[in-house]
Amino acid sequence: MVLDTGATAWMLVSASLVLLMTIPALALFYGGMSRSKSVLNMMMMSFGGTAVVGVLYILYGWSMSYGGTDIAGILANPFDQLGLHGAITDSSGQFLLDDYGVPVIVGVAFQMTFAVITVALISGAIADRTRFGAWMTFVPLWVTLSYFPMAHMVWGGGALSGDGWFAPIAEPIDFAGGTVVHINAGVAGFVLAVLIGRRRGFGRMPMRPHNLPLTMLGAGLLWIGWFGFNAGSAFTADGLAGLAWVNTSAATCAAVLGWLLVERLRDGHATSLGAASGVVAGLVGITPAAGSVTPVGALVLGAICGALCAMAVGLKYRFGYDDALDVVGVHLVGGLTGTVLVGFLSADTGLLYGHGPAQLVVQVLVALVAVGFSLMTTTLCWFIVSRTPGGWRLSADAEHLGADKAEHYESAYESLTAGRLATVVARQEQRPVTAAAEEA
């Protein structure tokens, strides 16, 4: 195999675009949707999670996902390429190349960014009430017990791959992470939202996004970064990458229109938050299907995802779980929808193209396994963290004051200085205001 410099350059750019999806894109998207007293905490969950996953991926995450000996189809041996030993160069010191002529170390960079964004997505479900220390304890547990094994099962030759449990029926299709990323993170967000509990005042007081321009900016950056996510999953600069790029944009455009139409019919108006959320819903939905549907199929898939996710985000009020930033409504519902619709819309194997139900059956089975696996591992991680000193929740006083001040001793805006926050809290609680606080 000869080094392909063009493919290598494409994959390095794609890895950088996927990292952009977390920092700053998701941080801005989630930060704008949060309340003003928790925006820095929300962004810190993306930054902190990125730091933890980046370290663990080099130490054993790559080996556990792709580099080691398969263990029961669930994970690879984390010790085979510990610290990337044996993943960078051969015995002669030459860089190892993959089947596309791209150095393996570039693949490590690309896959690391997928692990980073998956973990960060979960944080939106538990905004405004979670201790930062609890989050930083949860991240290494969850990425080890849930993400690395799931990546191996789907993309590393494990149980949900083309060589896995359902291969005799049909080869599962997950082009860029419908199961590994979105179903996995969406289920985790749901489990934590339910088990950690609702924000104080949820359902009784408004908890609106504090800065929608930030959210829209974050959504736009997510859209740009997602071309690395999906088109980069072709692993070289070729026609498949081009198809994935076009399908990604087509589905996203259709999803925005689908979401806004639902809003217009249901609420009488279309919103900027709906447009930004529709962007993400379309991106999520097309992720597993980007390489297997036609551009027209992508339009259909995107419109369905946008409409379904727009309806799904309201379920938290009906059933009483506090998915603060709609991780369940967008990522779980969108991931499930996109994964299942592959069975209908895949140009080569889909039911609507006359190929029978085999692909649809496999897509449903894979989605169910992914849901069950993430449910089990996330519940275990929640239990472990809940037994640590301090547990998951901010105290009532800290939640009232806001996670920014309580956890980080900072404020996002000058109008919310420490003194003014203390004054507001004191007045709300009908306590005397100190001279220092009044002066600040």
Between residues 413 and 97, which one has the greater pLDDT? 97
Q: Which of 151, 143, 140 is nearest to 75 (CA)?
A: 151
Q: Which of 102, 101, 100, 107 is nearest to 84 (CA)?
A: 107
pLDDT of residue 440: 43
Structure tokens at 343: 């069975």
Q: Each residue of 290-315: pLDDT tens digit?
A: 999 999 999 999 999 999 999 999 99
Tokens 């980046």 appear where? Answer: 54
Handedness of CA 229, 161, 115, 321 (dihedral sign): positive
Burial class of 352 by CB neighbour count within 10 A (0 to 12, 13 to 18, 19+)? middle
Answer yes or no: is pLDDT of 236 > 50: yes
Q: Each residue of 102-129: pLDDT tens digit?
A: 999 999 999 999 999 999 999 999 999 9
Instruction: Show Cβ contacts of residue 388 under 8 Å, excluding neighbours closer than 6 positions.
Output: 134, 137
Q: Each residue of 382-426: pLDDT tens digit?
A: 999 999 999 999 999 999 999 999 999 999 986 645 555 555 555
Report how far residue 219's alpha carbon sits from residue 300's, in angstroms, rounded to the nearest whole number.
Answer: 21
pLDDT of residue 350: 97
pLDDT of residue 430: 58
What integer is the mean pLDDT of 253-264?
Answer: 98
Q: Each residue of 22-63: pLDDT tens digit?
A: 999 999 999 999 999 999 999 999 999 999 999 999 999 999
Rounded to the nearest integer, the mean pLDDT of the chain is: 94
- Which helix (H) or strand (E) covers residue 408, if one does? helix 403-408
Q: What is the CA radius of gyration of the chain?
A: 22
With bands split at pLDDT 50, 70 and 90, how would you rate the model's confidence at 433? very low
Residues of the chain above pLDDT 90, percent: 92
Tokens 């894109």 appear where? Answer: 25
Q: Which of 393, 396, 395, 401 is nearest to 419 (CA)?
A: 401
Q: Domains in the chain, ordered, with CATH?
A: 5-395 (1.10.3430.10)
What integer is the mean pLDDT of 323-349?
Answer: 98
pLDDT of residue 425: 54
pLDDT of residue 438: 42
Q: Each residue of 139-166: pLDDT tens digit?
A: 999 999 999 999 999 999 999 999 999 9
3-class SS of residue 75: strand
pLDDT of residue 439: 41
- Which helix (H) or strand (E) covers residue 232, if one does? none
With bands split at pLDDT 50, 70 and 90, how would you rate the model's confidence at 434? very low
Taking the mean position of all CA atoms in its chain, how far away is CA 281? 11
pLDDT of residue 68: 80
Handedness of CA 179, 181, 187, 188 (dihedral sign): positive
Q: Are 157 and 70 in contact (CB under 8 A)?
A: yes
What integer is the mean pLDDT of 308-331?
Answer: 96
pLDDT of residue 192: 98
